[in-house]
Structure 1
């Protein structure tokens, strides 16, 4: 597991030449570097990949889409190993339209083994005694040129992934949980960003639900103001004005320059023109007719039976007992929203649980008989996981 000097590839010819040598590869470790901490719209600024023999860092900025890499990632015969794959998969689809078809996520594998410290650095230290250097964790990967030190740091994220994959796979097989992981990986392979309903991002700000509808109208205008500036500057939104600042402005509705700048956290370096635009945004929010004030969309309604919470509590007791026996985090074994779906369904047979898209097959296997027995008193198979 000695370190290898990565190839830095920033021309179409060098990328094609490197990838052409991987035609027989059946396992590929991958990572991406974005710049969401610095830029308004995140994209892929580096692609790091390692095989058992070779290692490269691809710079897509000067070359565009490295199409041959997409062919590898979409080949079902090539296992693509990532750590905490969700965001990488979304970026790969957003930027290139690629969909990984044979995934191994080392973070998910570690969680299914009951490992609580499942960050990449923690796992590498646990399994191999390797300590990763984190000094470039917040680096701006959109900047050029990149230093040799930064490139080596980026390469660390894939350098040991294949060895880690082998150790985790071995443990999953030993514990009889490999099929759990396979189901999770298959579900994750289609991960992508769903199209967003235009002009609704303000509703997702933490704390927005505590506002009145009039305050929500101001918040909507202030988010438009902030995001317009961030887009023009290609700067992360919090670097223009943080969400807490916008919430405070929506609540207090300052009407003068002095009152605007007196709000805690409002950028002191904001230009006069931008500050006036913020005041105008507040005025627009104040002028929205009452009938047109924004509101949160209504959640899907279902008849909440009087004993619903008690049913969920009984399922939770079963889940918690099973998690303790399996040495798993209870939330990994089965989240509350999935238990609520079971409680609403009130299954009479284990087969009924297959109709719940929220539940994995492996969760039905582990918890289904006990859930059914507890809720329906059916003749389901006995389970050791009973509420204490």
Structure 2
């Protein structure tokens, strides 16, 4: 992939590549593998080998993914271990997904990497490369939202209305700006209050001028003010009004609240830094900062403002007009890295540390390390902005593809600042929405759920969402996703078993375990007649819709057919990335490819054969036949019409025949009489035997040959007659002998006709262990048909599937 392609294009390419893979996986799953295993031993062996190889690869991947972490990857020895260790496997997958989300957020700019410069002497001494302490990452503090003057309403399903009370720097009054419209789902939403102002925005001329970057002030020579009073906000506002550029960043918390909390806001000018506490009860009054934030003559520099825009308007009623997103600038310049950490390393030369990016920013008072970490984010951002602006203007050359990179970055920044916050609505039936179960079901690939398991899964998910809204907690704090799937698969039979499946940190869920078990029991009973996972995934799609169309329904990004030009053949590599050009098999190696043997064709020299061959000594046809041998052959075996018939254009019908030359067959060497030699020469030939005459023979020779033929025939008839007479005499003598022998045995039977005494007969079933019998048994060893003997036949093949430990033969 070219470096000019952005992340969205990369994402769509990967999703398009996953469609044929998903289709193939579904096709394999739809086959009756159990039947194939039973009916075809070769398939069973191949399935066993493949399963063993996949289990080994899976175990290796799990061990590799958990290396250096607290999560322990299981070792899968057979297919049953997948069910036994399912919870541990899900923990590993959750860990990988969290890391992937973090990387994607850093790549897109939703989360910034922050760190203090290592070359600054005033940097705090408490720097550790280890993970955050749990007390900092998951602090046990009182919920600040309980003291808010405007408390969040998690049960409000109406369209979210902006909390603005006045609109500074407006070209359209506030009352006209707060109008509604229908979105793509026909839901009513409020438009962006500053939509008109952002669309008509003209950036100041200083943005399009190349100037020497203004060096940031050293950390030790500047101060940072922590603003936790409204008077402090007003004092800060007075200083911000005199600036031409400001840098902004935010810190967010979403684990102990349902919708999320904007916990901190950092603002910097060229001379000073502020840290604003956005968890104060009067936080809604921070909308006064729109005097600066909405001022089009002041440039607001943010990095990856994709989510900052949402958080600011949701919690504080703040809107940004005149945004410059450094992430969009790095993307336009095709930097190899686009995170804030990369930009700080490139222009300021310090290594970013993401240690505190997942810290609990609700902690008050703010620890010294976290305070410094928050301040360092915006302290250098304006210097980075100066360098990016100059590079964008230098790269904008008329007549080239990058002729207007600056306007491209500014247009992208406008699109980001036009993002709107919308309240989340939970749809229990379809599972759609940011907090719904549908996307969670697709990501976890739970297609093997039975109807009862699927019903329990939806019931638990709905119960978790309702409880999270009531308690104003994150659904993940109530119960993590791995536990939801684990309970749905196991279907615990009693509350005690359910309690054992809950995570140690699920305090609220353990408190409600009795109610949760009643919900599970009810859902299990209703699930027998409920929909299946496949039916829900298909939704309202026709029954004939293929999996590609279903994937387009699930992933709206695939609806653009023009982007589906990716051919699956392009995804196949012709060389191994591990082995290089070494062929994986000799059949693929062109050097060793065996060319098919060339078929040699030749013509039968029919005419020459007719002319050169002589008449055989023994001809099976009658002497009175007037037709010549050559004519008989020509009628019975017609000559091919053309050479092409021999070469393959026409395939003659196969028939067996024998061509005999005029020479006599060589007789076997023996000491028999002349008569036996003559008889050996008079062998009866098959009807297919053909004698070919020689046209050069004279009439005398032909007459002599006919005479010899008549003589041979007479001798043959005489020999046959003698043999028949001999057989008749021999049968007659045997019959008389049998008749005489039968009459003699009858007379002997009449003389000794005594009844057999069965009481004195030896037992056959219970033979005594006499020495003679034992000797006979010793001589006659028991025959083992499966054993290999030196002189015996090839041993029989054992029944397929017989394994050691699977069957046994017992003897009394």
**TM-score by structure 1 length?**
0.70
Q: Does 1:219 align with 2:460?
A: no
Q: CA deviation at 1:148?
A: 3.2
The corresponding residue for 1:71 is: 291
Q: CA shift at 1:299, angstroms? A: 8.3
Alignment match, 2:444: 207
Contact residue 37 and residue 138 of structure 1 kept, 8 A: no
Structure 1 position 120 matched with structure 2 position 340: yes
Question: How many Å separate the matches in 1 of 2:318 and 2:522?
Answer: 41
Q: Distance in 2 between matches of 1:194 and 1:20?
A: 32
Cα distance per residue 1:288-342 (max 9 Å; x no partner)? 47467893585899x999xx9xxxxxxxxxxxxxxxxxxxxxxxxxxx9489453
What secondary structure does 2:267 align onto?
strand
Give the CA RMSD over aligned residues. Answer: 3.4
Contact 1:38–1:140, Cα closer than 8 Å, also in 2 = no
**Structure 1 position 203, deviation (Å):** 1.7
**1:21 aligned counterpart, secondary structure:** helix
Task: Confirm whether residue 36 of structure 1 aligns to residue 254 of structure 2.
Answer: yes
Name the CA distance, whole Å, in 2 between partners of 1:285 and 1:71.
Answer: 54
Choose which of 368, 371, 376 in structure 2 pairs with 1:151.
Answer: 371
| Pairing partner for 2:483 from 245, 251, 259 | 245
Unaligned runs of 5+ in 1: 309-335, 346-388
Provide the residue aligned with 2:264 in structure 1: 46
Say if 1:202 and 1:208, in contact at 8 Å, map to a contact too.
no
> In structure 2, the residue corresponding to 1:226 is in which secondary structure?
helix
Aligned to 2:512: 274
- Alpha-carbon shift at residue 88 of structure 1 (Å): 0.8
Deviates most, 42-51 or 269-278? 269-278
Q: Residue in 2 aligned with 1:178?
A: 406
Q: Distance in 1 between matches of 2:490 and 2:513?
A: 15
- Contact 2:289 2:318 (C-alpha < 8 Å) held by counterparts: no
Equivalences for 1:1-388 in 2 at 5 Å? Answer: 1=216, 2-3=218-219, 4-62=222-280, 63-65=282-284, 66-175=286-395, 176=402, 177-199=405-427, 200=431, 201-205=436-440, 206-207=443-444, 210=447, 211=449, 214-231=452-469, 233-263=471-501, 265=503, 273-288=511-526, 290=529, 295-296=536-537, 298=539, 337=557, 340-343=560-563
What is the number of equivalent residue pairs in this alignment? 316
1:140-176: CA deviation from partner (whole Å, max 9, x where unpaired): 1112221233222111111111111222222223333
Q: Which has the higher contact order (CA 8 A, sep 6+)?
A: 1
- Please give the alpha-carbon distance, in whole angstroms, between the structure 1 residues aligned to 2:469 and 2:538: 27
- Give the helix-richer structure, 1 or 2: 1
Does the 8 Å contact 2:451/2:531 carry over to 1?
no
| Cα distance change on mapping 1:12 and 1:343 into 2, 3 Å | closer
* Cα separation, partners in 2 of 1:274 and 1:22, compared to 1, 3 Å: same
Task: Give me the whole-angstrom Cα distance separating, in 1, the residues matched to 2:561 and 2:320.
Answer: 29
Distance 1:102 1:288 in 2: 55
CA contact (8 A) 1:9 1:58 kept: yes
Instruction: Name which of structure 1's ranges 188-197 and 80-89 shifts more when overlaid on structure 2.
Output: 188-197
Q: Which residue of 1 aligns with 2:166?
A: none
CA distance in 1 between partners of 2:538 and 2:290 (Å): 38
Aligned equivalents of 2:245 and 2:541: distance in 1? 43
Work out whether residues 502 and 509 of structure 2, in 8 Å CA contact, stay in contact via their aligned partners in 1. no
Task: Using the TM superposition, name which of 286-295 and 33-42 deviates more.
Answer: 286-295
Retained in 1: the 8 A contact 2:450–2:532?
Answer: no
Kindly name which structure, 1 or 2, has the bigger radius of gyration based on alpha carbons: 2
Shift, 1:35, TM fit: 0.9
- Alpha-carbon separation, structure 2, partners of 1:273 and 1:304: 45
Structure 2 length as normaliser, TM-score?
0.35
Distance in 1 (CA, whole Å) between partners of 2:472 and 2:426 is 19
Aligned partners of 2:479 and 2:506 also within 8 Å: no
Q: Provide the rounded CA distance (Å) in 2 between the counterparts of 1:149 and 1:7.
A: 15
